[in-house]
Amino acid sequence: MAEEKIARIAREIYENVGGTQNVKKLIHCMTRVRMTIIDDSKVNLAGLKAIDGVMGVVEDETLQVVIGPGTVNKVAQAMVDTVGVRLGEAFPNAEGQSIDDLMAKTKSEAKEKYNKPSKFKAVLNTISKIFVPLIPAFVGAGLIGGLASVLGNLVTAGTLDAATWTQFITVLKIIQSGIFSYLAIYVGINSAQEFGATPALGGVIGAVSLLTGMNPELPLKNIFNGSALSAGQGGIIGVIFAVWLLSILEKQLRIFIPDSIDIIVTPTIGLLVIWFAEIFAIMPIAGVISSSLVGAINFILQVGGGVSGFVLGVLFLPMVMFGLHQILTPIHLEMIAKTGSTQLLPILAMAGAGQVGAAIALWLRLRKDKEFVELVKGALPVGILGIGEPLIYGITLPLGRPFITACIGGGIGGAIIGSLGQAGAIAIGPSGLALLPLIANGKWWVYLLGLLGAYVGGFIATYLFGIPKDAKEKADNYGKSVQMETLQPTLRVVTTPEFSSSVISSPLDGNVKELSSIEDEVFSSGMLGKGVAIEPTNGEIVSPVNGVVSTVFPTKHAIGLTSDEGLEILIHIGMDTVALNGEGFESFVKQNDRVRKGDLLVRADFEKIKAAGLSTITPVVITNSDTYREIIITHGATISKGQEIFTVKA
């Protein structure tokens, strides 16, 4: 019923302002929907005021429809959803079209807009959605795995005693393998959720790629060249593609399979068909590509020097994505057997170092995007230790361009090692700093120079050429439209005790004025309830009651409280201060916090507010005034925080 009410109010507002085609854009603040109207003559003010749920209307530079805290955010969101734009974005104008035609057109335009510049970007976005939920596990298990690698390499190098450390290292590796060894299963589940397939079946498809039921003595054959298939052949990308096929097949099967047998028939057919495609097409094709690359890699190694180092450093991460890196294992082992070390591994390790440099550049260029920065902070330490999945799948690949510039950084590091030469690893191990103890013949400094070169190369390439325009715009505007964010309603049950009267104290120091004396009609007319206006003398705003913080507006310029007696109080700091986007306000509480009378809620810089040409007058309103028999207000005096300002009689 609540959703029906929101949809009704949104629809009726449009009906009374001349339709969506008469609105340029729409935002909301703590109490009202603000619309920029194209033709004022088409607005039916009487009709707007008559809408059930609308508390009043204010005509200003924008048309302001007062709905009240807690509901306004939902109505505003419903209104922009109707035309397929976001809060604050320009509405498409379609004078003369019907509402239905306009909606269809704008939704189509929005869809087309978000798909630009290409479908490739949509693919990257899908990959991001699949891997972002795995990032916490990547980071935790990655750090543990990095520690295990460092300790293991020190044991291999003879620095640590094997008898003392081996069991501890084994336990750490078991924890690490919980996600990295079975990553295909997690990816299969998440891919199924993204594509609309059954998650459990997606997990099975991922597990199929691991070939866990195959007898090593009787392996499955590549139908193209007869070679044995190996676990993971086809890579994570192959799993995603197979699950995508599963989602299509499931949807088609459910068109004609009766519901009574759907749970039996659909998963059985789905798994059989996709298993066939995965085992006899996806994995073999990857195997053919792998076999072809062996010759190419051998040729590159023969060329030698910085050229081979650059090419291998650039290409290694794309090979990992497609599961093609496994072809390199026998090459590593052959090199170690013949020369005592593999000079290929240190070069390939540069690919991960390029990702580290790219991530640091992204951190600096997009530092205003706090959410993105938190992702980078979590992924960087793991990447430095040689676990690259969080950086690849959570940071660079979803953005597209940074993945390429990171690969270039890896190529630069590879070129450095290839040019200096003689930096080999005595065993197959991780990349990153963790590989240092395994570098043979005291050539660790060559490997370290390569790492630094890859860091710097990935950083410079990304900083100059790898920042996507939309990501930069998002970061530069992070928080600037915060006043348009949707507020989540407080979900709680308030038990209102019986009381004869309740006292509310002043939340700030200042001079008390009548609410009717301020210029904002929404407050002065009493639309939102009875209250007072305070001209503040200092910037500390405290709680006037014992109760709960019901709402903190994102810009911190307004706060809602519900007292233990059920009184709903709105404190609006200054007039039109939503335009400051939070500048000059410091909040000390958040939604649902328990507060006592006198607790500090917000500290406001009133000098900054005045410098912006805005009024500091602060309305304090009881928004559910109609619930109570009488509200006695103290007028016309100087008041201090904590002194009585209202007496409410129930």
Catalytic residues: 29
Which of 349, 361, 225, 371 has its CA nearest to residue 288?
225
- H-only helix segments in 99-158: 99-115, 119-131, 135-156
Q: Please give the span between the terminal C-alpha atoms of the chain, in angstroms, as a whole number.
A: 29
* Contacting residues for 542 by C-beta, under 8 A, at least 6 apart: 507, 508, 597, 598, 599, 600, 601, 641, 642
Looking at residue 577, its amino acid is T
DSSP letters along 549-578, please? EEEE-TTSSEEEEEETT--EEEEE-SSSGG
Q: Residue 189, by phi and psi: left (phi above 0), alpha (psi -120 to 50) or beta?
A: alpha
Is-contact 500 648, C-beta < 8 A?
no
How far is residue 366's CA from residue 370's CA, in Å, rounded to a whole number? Answer: 8
- What are the angstrom distances between the C-alpha of 250 and each of 243, 247, 273, 285, 432? 10, 5, 11, 24, 42
> Where in 125-280 does DSSP place strands (E)?
none
How far is residue 644's CA from residue 544's CA, in Å, rounded to a whole number? Answer: 9
* Omega before 117 within 30 of 0, i.e. cis: yes
Residue 286 corresponds to which tokens in the numbers above? 């990857």
The sign of the CA dihedral 430, 431, 437, 441 is: positive
- What are the angstrom distances between the C-alpha of 324 and each of 217, 224, 225, 343, 440? 22, 16, 16, 19, 26
How far is residue 21's CA from residue 9's CA, in Å, rounded to a whole number? Answer: 18
Looking at residue 182, its amino acid is Y
Residue 88 corresponds to which tokens in the numbers above? 């604050």
User: C-alpha angle with apex 113: 107 to 119, nearest 5 degrees?
Assistant: 115
DSSP letters along 348-411, please? HTHHHHHHHHHHHHHHHHTTT-HHHHHHHHHHHHHHHTT--HHHIIIIIHHHSHHHHHHHHHHH
Q: Looking up tokens 């309603």, which residue turns up?
A: 489
Residue 29 corresponds to which tokens in the numbers above? 């603040």
Which of 418, 447, 415 has its CA nearest to residue 430?
447
The DSSP symbol for 290 reads H
Write phi, then psi, for 560 (nearest 5 degrees).
-115, 140
Give 100-108's long-range contacts (Cβ < 8 A, gap of 24+): 102/19, 102/20, 102/21, 103/20, 106/20, 107/83
Please tell me whether residue 263 adopts helix, strand or coil conformation.
helix
